[in-house]
């Protein structure tokens, strides 16, 4: 059975809370008083001898000292999820 790579990409965007085209460019998550901001990811279908997706995005994390926000730390994130048949 053939894997539809475009459906993998669409599903990844949906799971992350974004639309493939249009929609919001950032989403905000709250953990108590801290607010984390995630940029819209770039999702790419993998090809070759495996199938899956590669997801890239930036996460902005507040850095606090003595309860006061000093800066936002930008963390680049890359996640690869793939299946390779042996």
Residue corresponding to tokens 């507040």: 62
Residue corresponding to tokens 């048949």: 85
Cα distance between residue 30 and residue 23, in whole Å: 20
Total residue length of the chain: 86
Residue corresponding to tokens 């998550």: 29
- Quickly state the pLDDT bin for 80 (edges 50, 70, 90): very high
Give residue 85's pLDDT: 79
Average pLDDT over all residues of the chain: 86
Out of 1-5, 8-12, 23-27, pick the least confident: 23-27
Q: What is the pLDDT of residues 42-79, one digit of tens each?
A: 999 998 888 899 999 999 888 889 988 899 999 999 99
- Quickly state the pLDDT bin for 17 (edges 50, 70, 90): confident
pTM of full prediction above 0.85: no
């Amino acid at each position: 059975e053939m894997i539809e790579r475009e459906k993998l990409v669409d599903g990844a965007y949906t799971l992350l809370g974004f639309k493939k085209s249009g929609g919001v460019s950032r989403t905000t998550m709250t953990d108590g008083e801290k607010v984390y901001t995630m940029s819209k990811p770039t999702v790419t279908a993998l090809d070759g001898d495996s199938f899956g997706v590669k997801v890239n995005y930036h996460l902005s994390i507040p850095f606090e000292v003595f309860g006061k926000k000093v800066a936002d730390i930008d963390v680049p994130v890359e996640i690869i999820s793939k299946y390779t048949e042996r």
